[in-house]
Structure 1
Amino acid sequence: MLSLRAVNQFYGSQHTLWNVDLDFPQGQCTGVIGLPGMGKTTLMNCIVGNLPVESGTIVWHEAGAPPCDLLSQAPGQRQTPRIGYVPQDRRIFSQLTVEENLHIAMRATGTADPVAKSEMFDLFPQLHPLRQRRANGLSPDVQYQLALANALVTRPRVLILDEPMHGAEPSFAQKLTQLLARLNRELGMTVLLAEQQLSFIRRVADRFCMLYRGRNVAQGHVNELNDELIAHWMSLEARR
């Protein structure tokens, strides 16, 4: 379980996250939804450690182990649980080959298991015949698969995806749906998914939380994400 309690974050004098309380159950997929600019990406970056948190706690509690306060660790060094993160811009090494990307991802976290790389080619079979191809020569969807492989090759306990459907082809949505189901149900991985496409969230998520102007205004089982809730917090009027 990943738990956030009273998390506040600022960009300079701008208060961006307001006393956010959220629970992300272990082994489930939680969709973080909201209009653009409501704090989804900021929340993801606070969890990963890319942004400082002004106050509050972010605690990982795995069965059989003591709770771990992620904020007690230096930003960028949050290894318990190991967190895999795929930002919206992917951040792959465009001038390096697919295989070189995976090698650097493993070295960055001290992972030296040769089996891990072969597992990525099993998860993403399109990458194997392209393993000597430079990343900038891949299609956008295959580039995203590489970004996912870079995140997963370290065998994280938590996977965070920021707007994976942004600019994606419809065929990729089906592939990602199947992958997330496998990660959740077969491997027990906890997935956090910041996304605006509600149809995708309803297909892949177990739970949802909704952000509005940096505040968590609703959360629950994905079946509770009804039209009334969406109309109230995600209509054009809600932007005002």
Structure 2
Amino acid sequence: MLSLRAVNQFYGESHILWNLDLELAPGECTCVLGAPGMGKTTLVNCITGYLPVQSGSMTWLEAGHPPQDLLTQPIEGRVALGMSYVAQDRRIFSQLSVEENLQIALLAARVRSRSIPGMIYELFPELYSLRHMRGGELSSDLQQQLALARALVTEPKLLILDEPTFGSGQRFINELSNIIRRLSRDFGLTILLVEQRLSFIRRVADRFCLLHRGRNVAQGNVALLDDKLVSSWIDP
């Protein structure tokens, strides 16, 4: 689905990402983890187009279609290819209703259908019962549900989640883990997850990428993500 090769990125003279390689396979959930300030969100911003890449390549791979060079695509071009992003700060429209938040996502993505897919309210039944409530009146966990539902309403091929459990209660975290597993295993959605909770990662991810000072120091099947490896690079 997505292949990164030798990606480098700078903030001014500070070298943030160092020759980073990453492969996202169709239908798999890959987790990027690392201590704060190690380049995780920078990587996401490069993939989504919010930050430029200094050097390297990013290639969009989709069966039946020629490879696409992502570096030539603006943000809206990446969305059109099938990329969807949920930022840590959610970015919902607080004055609009739940349903209006979902409908505006359809308009922004310029999809042909103006109807909210049935799977949205199947995955988020609480949002259906609150569909006429303003986004700003929802609890923080429900706002996170809305942000995720809005990202899914266009039926993307790649879903990118930046620390979706941050500030959330255990009930929502449990629900979210079930949703992510369904999306990747039942719906075949490719997911890139930035996350810190190891128990959550081990439950939902197929593969991992461990960043340290902008370098990919370990990656592979999530079964290899043991406590010793994590403590070597993340724990003080």
1:11 paired with 2:7, answer no
1:161-191 per-residue CA deviation (whole Å, 9 max, x = no partner) reads 0001111100111111111111111111100
Paired residue secondary structure (1:160): strand
**Does the CA-based 8 Å contact 2:2-2:24 persist in structure 1?**
yes
**Does the CA-based 8 Å contact 2:103-2:114 persist in structure 1?**
no
1:129 paired with 2:129, answer yes
1:66-85 per-residue CA deviation (whole Å, 9 max, x = no partner) reads 21111121234213531110
Structure 2 unaligned spans of 5+? none
1:109-153 per-residue CA deviation (whole Å, 9 max, x = no partner) reads 102424434431122110111111110100111101100111000
Paired residue secondary structure (1:127): helix
Name the aligned partner's letter for residue 12 of structure 2. Answer: G
In the alignment, which residue of structure 2 is the partner of 1:229?
229
The count of aligned residue pairs is: 236
Deviates more, 1:222-231 or 1:211-220: 222-231
Mapped to 2, the partners of 1:19 and 1:180 lie a distance apart of 29
Mapped to 1, the partners of 2:113 and 2:134 lie a distance apart of 23
Name the aligned partner's letter for residue 135 of structure 2. Answer: A
- Cα distance, 1:222 vs. partner? 0.2
In the alignment, which residue of structure 2 is the partner of 1:211?
211
Paired residue secondary structure (2:116): helix
Q: Structure 2 length normalisation: TM-score?
A: 0.96
Mapped to 1, the partners of 2:224 and 2:51 lie a distance apart of 31
1:164 paired with 2:151, answer no
- Cα distance, 1:64 vs. partner? 2.4
1:207-230 per-residue CA deviation (whole Å, 9 max, x = no partner) reads 000000111111000001112211
Mapped to 1, the partners of 2:81 and 2:215 lie a distance apart of 25
Q: Structure 1 length normalisation: TM-score?
A: 0.95
Mapped to 1, the partners of 2:108 and 2:79 lie a distance apart of 12
Mapped to 1, the partners of 2:81 and 2:175 lie a distance apart of 26
**Does the CA-based 8 Å contact 1:81-1:158 persist in structure 2?**
no
Name the aligned partner's letter for residue 121 of structure 1. Answer: Y
Identity percentage of aligned residues: 57
Paired residue secondary structure (1:126): helix
- Cα distance, 1:155 vs. partner? 0.7
In the alignment, which residue of structure 2 is the partner of 1:150?
150
- Cα distance, 1:10 vs. partner? 1.1
In the alignment, which residue of structure 2 is the partner of 1:186?
186
Paired residue secondary structure (2:5): strand
1:70 paired with 2:73, answer no
**Does the CA-based 8 Å contact 1:159-1:192 persist in structure 2?**
yes
Name the aligned partner's letter for residue 47 of structure 1. Answer: I
Name the aligned partner's letter for residue 69 of structure 1. Answer: D
